[in-house]
Amino acid sequence: MALKVGVIGTGMIGQDHIRRLTKVLSGVEITAVNDIDVERAKEAAPYGAEVFETPKALIESDNVDAIVICSWGPAHEEQLLDCIAAGKPVFCEKPMTTSEEAAIRIVEAEAAYGKRLIQVGFMRRFDADYRRLKAVVDSAMIGAPLMYHSVHRNASVPSHYTSDMPLNDTLVHDADISRWLLSDEIVGVEVRYPRRSTVGGGELKNPVIVLLHMESGAIVDVEISVAITYGYDIRGEVSGETGVASLPNRPATVVSDVNGIRQAMPEDWRERFIEAYDQEFREWIIAAGEGTATGPSAWDGYASTLTADAALRAAESGQYEPLKMIKKPALYLEAPAVAAE
Amino acid sequence: MALKVGVIGTGMIGQDHIRRLTKVLSGVEITAVNDIDVERAKEAAPYGAEVFETPKALIESDNVDAIVICSWGPAHEEQLLDCIAAGKPVFCEKPMTTSEEAAIRIVEAEAAYGKRLIQVGFMRRFDADYRRLKAVVDSAMIGAPLMYHSVHRNASVPSHYTSDMPLNDTLVHDADISRWLLSDEIVGVEVRYPRRSTVGGGELKNPVIVLLHMESGAIVDVEISVAITYGYDIRGEVSGETGVASLPNRPATVVSDVNGIRQAMPEDWRERFIEAYDQEFREWIIAAGEGTATGPSAWDGYASTLTADAALRAAESGQYEPLKMIKKPALYLEAPAVAAE
Amino acid sequence: MALKVGVIGTGMIGQDHIRRLTKVLSGVEITAVNDIDVERAKEAAPYGAEVFETPKALIESDNVDAIVICSWGPAHEEQLLDCIAAGKPVFCEKPMTTSEEAAIRIVEAEAAYGKRLIQVGFMRRFDADYRRLKAVVDSAMIGAPLMYHSVHRNASVPSHYTSDMPLNDTLVHDADISRWLLSDEIVGVEVRYPRRSTVGGGELKNPVIVLLHMESGAIVDVEISVAITYGYDIRGEVSGETGVASLPNRPATVVSDVNGIRQAMPEDWRERFIEAYDQEFREWIIAAGEGTATGPSAWDGYASTLTADAALRAAESGQYEPLKMIKKPALYLEAPAVAAE
Amino acid sequence: MALKVGVIGTGMIGQDHIRRLTKVLSGVEITAVNDIDVERAKEAAPYGAEVFETPKALIESDNVDAIVICSWGPAHEEQLLDCIAAGKPVFCEKPMTTSEEAAIRIVEAEAAYGKRLIQVGFMRRFDADYRRLKAVVDSAMIGAPLMYHSVHRNASVPSHYTSDMPLNDTLVHDADISRWLLSDEIVGVEVRYPRRSTVGGGELKNPVIVLLHMESGAIVDVEISVAITYGYDIRGEVSGETGVASLPNRPATVVSDVNGIRQAMPEDWRERFIEAYDQEFREWIIAAGEGTATGPSAWDGYASTLTADAALRAAESGQYEPLKMIKKPALYLEAPAVAAE
């Protein structure tokens, strides 16, 4: 039996997920859509899907088994709480919430419910390269991880991208993947601004170096460049006690010509993570079919919010800024479950 | 509306395709199965699928839009001709036929029908690495292709594997991908046996070097090693007039430890081509939904049979053995169509 | 006419340089040696070389055109000042001096002399990989350099190695090469200690992350691991405004076997930099033959001493520690000269 | 005491060796030169070297310990025989001789003398990459070598380069290195001409595929492209019973920019093998100082001549052409000695 899914928010990313759920993946059908703009919802709705006037009505519908939230960030809290109230699995795009307090309310509501329902959209955890890297880190192959070097390079950013966004928008991916790769929590953040790039005019505080201090004592140094022009270049290297493990070059034809021996670079995150997005939903469908959620949790969404806030404070103060987390509910204590690939 | 598929042959590979069509891919449902062993067919049949007593009955059923043939090679001819008679799209596993004459009958029947219905199971054409390589060859980047070096290394082969099989079973992949990469036809074959490997006892004529002479004059040298022990290592390098293009290393974590800086090698073809198999069927479903076929054609199946036969003759004679092909029907003249990815 | 060289200090490194100057390089002969241990000097002296009782006598000898200093660090100042007084070119091993004050006295003496005489033994600047990297940085290929990631991994360290030594002994190589690669000066240092490696018992503060703040605003992050066990792994990556440039893997046979596709790693600095040591002296001989010095200067030795001192302070304070340099004498203003290779 | 060397032939390559022996290497001085053009000899002669009117006078001079022959190929035989008569070590540039008969006379004369005196100029054997590759082949790491794939790509060739020259001039390097890497002899040759490159007008028979059949049964397939335009690209891969070993990419800065992730390619053989030439003479000086020769022998020169002749016959006949070698004198039976690096 196919999983009946309702989609809240039919903007660009909502439409892309609708395409994925209807054209690419099996075991799922979209039975309901909702958007603040009803006309847009109607256009985006696949054949046979009902258009609901409110998120709450969609969530509570008997014809909806599970929900995908792609609405505006500030709307997430209420929608997630409604999903928990209805006991229905939900996939929620980043950011899970836009405030620490909202994140805590969601974590506490899910913990009170007693079973995981929420998967947050950190797609990197579903990327095959990162998964192989984690498998090496988790094995005894390189010993305990002591440092992680995470490099995040965007070819360019949109004109509305501001100096807060490397810390608010970009860093969250490196922060989440660091916590996951090292099976660790972030306890403090430092931010340093190197010599500024003149690409794009030089008004943006770019690049940025961020040091994430982990609970184990490991340090993650994140190098963010958001206007490197040449491509979307994501790198990661874990230094352990007795070995080092790194993400490989992306598979690309090795061409020898007048430009040297060379491989093409992905243009953007769509090209780089296209398979991770598919896999993210493939596993969500399996877990949702069993009435629960795996992958990145509400706790991970909460940690992400706290990290971004601490990074913004650290950018301001120039100092080490600690994260103050609530006590971790038992629901989140176990290692992040991974559905069978 | 989902494509209704009937599967003929529910042995190991048939079962794997049933899994793929029901669990991995969308837009398709299996409505019918058949096997020479009815009990095996019943076990393999997914929920709701009808078990047919004969291939012909399955092919002609109104509840079957398209057919997947995974039966024994000698049975393919009759089943394919029945599919053409019924005007239904069909995916046929390798080898398309076991004789040149049968291959010609199929090609002529499909040509007479006037539209492509058959896709033959050369999955390498759906592999992302090969597709990127072909894109480079087809561009002006390296000039006209003059040579192709194709390396095919298996970790091991089953105990029933005989000295004919590198030419009969293994070479066909290199031959088909060479024709496709270079947009060319094979016109003659030479076979050379280097010093024999002692792995596995040394009775097998292994390794083998095969030279494929192409219609354009390009030469493909194929290096086949079927008991290299360390992994499944597939390589390809096209030398053009002004550049060279090669398959990259497979993506794998770069580990630095006491064994050096290293990346793991795939163990076997299942690991190496798992995504190509999915993509092969993804595109088949799209074309079959439109009542036709794309990808490797009956003509490609015919060329494959001729190449294997010529290679066996060349191994015997030590000489250059020409292929004598029938005139290519207009149906196959255009470049191999590729469904949108 | 061969350059007549006197060697002061005939311990392990002095003996290695004597071997290099007599067996490997041309255009040079060793005419004089001195050591605090006269017997050791006699044993190390090549055929025809005179053994001097004092460094000063050797330096002033008419049979000595140029001097190589491999004595104990605290002895360097007096010997270097004597060389300047004699107007003779001198190669001095690291550290140039053991105090900031001594370094200033040498810099001022050389500046007063008005011509460069001193080359300090930072051999990395003569390594072909680093030179090619600098050529890319100096070109317009990657735009202005904004960050440099310098990785320094030793397989192991001797038992007398203490927690000060990553900053005192190891960091100086990364610091000097950073200044040279970026054509920049270090203005401040931060030190962070990640989770400690348990290799070797865990008493050593290892690994270490050092941030070098450059005059241009560029930031260098140095990752030091001194007991990584698997080899001697030196990495460097410059991130520019529009591109990135990195040291390549060391040339080593690519082996595919049960351990994967792999390349061996150098065991130690002797293996890694053997050619750089030769080239370092090749260029020294050329410049000394012209009565002067090129390559790393007394100013670079001074900067190195200041950086190590600031790093030790930063390790203690946990804070940013600025370097306070004297005004750069005009003698050192031009870009570091490079003798023809 | 420095080795006193006389150089015969002061054309371009002779001048380069004079530079190497006087400016780069130690333990050697040039005391004598000779050229068919006396004025050229005078210009090329370093300070203190005597200009001889005849090769024979130079060879027999008491002031000459060892000889370097860079004269025209047809003159080599007489000069080499004079060196043997004088009992003096000699380095002889390729080709050792221009006929099989001449090569036999030299081999027999040296064998009669009873000690190796001749080193032939196959510089690839002194290249660090090839030496590391041979070390892997000679170890048990990949099992017995069964195939070797040797790729020889030149960016361009001079206008006087004719269709014989890939077999006469270019192939000899691949043939010699194959014999050395595999510790094997060539027993037969096949030549195939793929589709011709149009670069340079298309009159040249280029590229060429050559199969070298080895005494052990191993097969070497050589891929020669002499006008690939993009650089000088030398590749080699040995396939063994249980593993594969390949030459690595040349060390070059890894640049990520708009052209991809890339490394520069050497422009020509001077850039690629500059260090091999130095090492070739470094080892020659050591052996000549002991009155003998190591490295590529007269026997290797003889084998090279036979291989080129067989390749030319095979190009003509389209058939397998066997080499008919004389019985190998005991002098050449042992493995090629390698002087300490």
Local confidence band at B159 (pLDDT 50, 70, 90 cut-offs): confident
- Using pLDDT thresholds of 50, 70 and 90, give the confidence band for residue C151: very high
Nearest Cα residue to A222 out of A147, A316, A302:
A147
Task: Answer yes or no: do B239 and D225 touch at CB < 8 A.
Answer: yes
Residues of D in contact with C136 (CB under 8 A): 253, 255
Question: Which residue, chain included where needed, has tokens 């969404």?
Answer: A301
Whether residue A207 and residue C243 make contact (CB cut-off 8 A), yes or no, is: no
Facing residues of C33 across strands?
A: C7, C51
> For residue C140, what are the CA distances in angstroms to C143, C171, C239, C244, C257?
5, 28, 13, 12, 41
Which string of DSSP letters, residue by residue, matches D105-136?
Answer: HHHHHHHHHTS--EEE--GGGG-HHHHHHHHH
Burial tier of A334 (Cβ tally within 10 Å: 0-12, 13-18, 19+): exposed
Whether the CB-CB separation of A49 and A22 falls below 8 Å is answered with no
* The pair of three-digit structure tokens given for residue B84, joined into one six-digit string: 């053409």
Domains of chain B and CATH, by start: 3-123+275-297+324-332 (3.40.50.720), 125-266 (3.30.360.10)
Q: Give the one of D216, D228, D233 whose C-beta lies nearest to B195's C-beta.
A: D216
User: Which is more confidently placed, B296 or B160?
Assistant: B296
Q: Kindly list the residues from chain C whose CB atom is less than 8 angstroms away from the CB atom of residue A314.
A: none
Instruction: Specify the residue for token string 């669990």.
Output: B23
CA-to-CA distance for B160 and C32, rounded, in angstroms?
Answer: 76
Q: Considering only CB atoms, which chain D residues are within 8 Å of C252? A: 132, 248
Cα(A209)–Cα(C149) distance, integer angstroms: 11
Nearest to C262 among B231, B233, B260 (CB): B260
Number of separate helices (H) and strands (E) present in chain C: 10, 15
Average pLDDT over residues D234-256: 97
Subunit contact A136:B248, Cβ cutoff 8 A: no
Chain D residue with minimal CA distance to C245? D255
CA proximity to D215, closest of D124, D311, D131, D324: D324
Chain D residues with CB under 8 Å of B211 CB are 192, 209
**Angle formed at CA C25 by CA C136 and CA C119, multiple of 5 degrees:** 60
The answer to whether the CB atoms of C263 and B263 lie below 8 A apart is no
Q: Show Cβ contacts of residue A44 under 8 Å, excluding neighbours closer than 6 positions.
A: A7, A10, A14, A15, A18, A33, A35
DSSP state of A108: H
pLDDT-based confidence at residue B335 (cuts at 50, 70, 90): low
> For tokens 């001085």, what's the residue?
D29
pLDDT at C336: 45
CA distance A195 to chain B (A): 31
D296's tokens: 């590529």
In DSSP notation, C121-132 reads --GGGG-HHHHH
- Please check whether residue A2 is in contact with residue A28, taking contact to mean a CB–CB distance below 8 angstroms: yes
Percent of chain D exceeding pLDDT 90 equals 93
- Give D141-203 as a DSSP string: TT-SEEEEEEEEE-S---TT--TTHIIIIIHHHHHHHHHHHHT--EEEEEEE--S---GGGS-
pTM of the model: 0.95
Residue showing tokens 């190891």: C170
- Judging by beta carbons within 10 Å of its beta carbon (0-12, 13-18, 19+), is residue A29 exposed, middle or buried? middle
Among C253, C272, C341, most D C-beta atoms within 10 A, so best to mutate, is C253
Considering only CA atoms, which of D258, D2, D293, D290 is closest in space to residue D121?
Answer: D293
Q: Mean pLDDT throughout C292-314?
A: 98
Distance CA A284, CA A252 (A): 29
A264: which chain D residues are within 8 Å (Cβ-Cβ)? 260
**Is C143's CB within 8 Å of A197's CB?**
yes
Q: What are phi and psi of A115, to 5 degrees?
A: -150, 145
Bridge partners for A214 per DSSP: A186
Each residue of C249-301: pLDDT tens digit?
A: 999 999 999 999 999 999 999 999 999 999 999 999 999 999 999 999 999 99
3-state DSSP assignment of residue B265:
coil
In this predicted structure, the answer to whether residue D146 has a pLDDT above a threshold of 50 is: yes
Q: How far apart are the first and last CA of chain C?
A: 20
User: Residue B341: what pLDDT?
Assistant: 36
Residue C341 has pLDDT above 80, yes or no: no
Residues 83-142 of B with CB under 8 A from A: 128-129, 132-133, 135-136, 141-142
Asked whether the bond before D296 is cis by omega within 30 degrees of 0, the reply is no
Span D227-236, mean pLDDT? Answer: 97
pLDDT tens-digit map of B276-313: 999 999 999 999 999 999 999 999 999 999 999 999 99
**CA C30 – CA C7 distance, rounded (Å):** 7
Chain B residues closer than 8 Å to C252 by CB = 260
Q: Name beta bridge partners: D186.
A: D214
List pLDDT tens digits, range B182-195: 999 999 999 999 99
Closest to A24 (Cβ–Cβ): which among B26, B129, B136? B26
Farthest CA pair distance, chain B: 63
Q: Looking at beta carbons, which residues of chain D come within 8 Å of A258?
A: 229-230
Q: What string of pLDDT tens digits covers the 341 residues of chain A?
A: 799 999 999 999 999 999 999 999 989 999 999 999 999 999 999 999 999 999 999 999 999 999 999 999 999 999 999 999 999 999 999 999 999 999 999 999 999 999 999 999 999 999 999 999 999 999 989 999 999 999 999 999 998 899 999 999 999 999 999 999 999 999 999 999 999 999 988 899 999 999 999 999 999 999 999 999 999 999 999 999 999 999 999 999 999 999 999 999 999 999 999 999 999 999 999 999 999 999 999 999 999 999 999 999 999 999 999 999 999 999 998 654 444 33
Chain D nearest-CA distance from A17, in A, is: 30
pLDDT in the model for residue C22: 93
8 A C-beta contact, residue B118 and residue B297: yes
- Looking at chain B, the number of H-run helices and the number of E-run strands are 10, 15
Contact assessment for residue B282 and residue B104, using Cβ atoms and an 8 Å cutoff: no
Question: What's the pLDDT score for residue D59?
Answer: 98
**Structure-model confidence comparison of residues C123 and A26, the more confident one:** C123
Band of residue B340 on the pLDDT scale cut at 50, 70, 90: very low
Q: Is D230's CB within 8 Å of A256's CB? A: yes
